[in-house]
Amino acid sequence: MRLTFINNIISFLEQNGVIEARMLFQEPFTNLNDQGLLGVFDEADAHKVISILDGIKENAGVG
pLDDT above 90: residue 9: yes
Whether residue 41 contacts residue 49, with contact meaning beta carbons closer than 8 Å, is answered with yes
The per-residue pLDDT for range 18-62, each reduced to its tens digit, is 999 999 999 999 999 999 999 999 999 999 999 999 999 988 776
The answer to whether residue 61 is domain-embedded is no
The answer to whether residue 46 is domain-embedded is yes
Whether residue 53 contacts residue 21, with contact meaning beta carbons closer than 8 Å, is answered with yes
Distance CA 15, CA 35 (A): 23
Domain holding 41, by residue range, is 2-53
The answer to whether residue 32 is domain-embedded is yes
The answer to whether residue 62 is domain-embedded is no
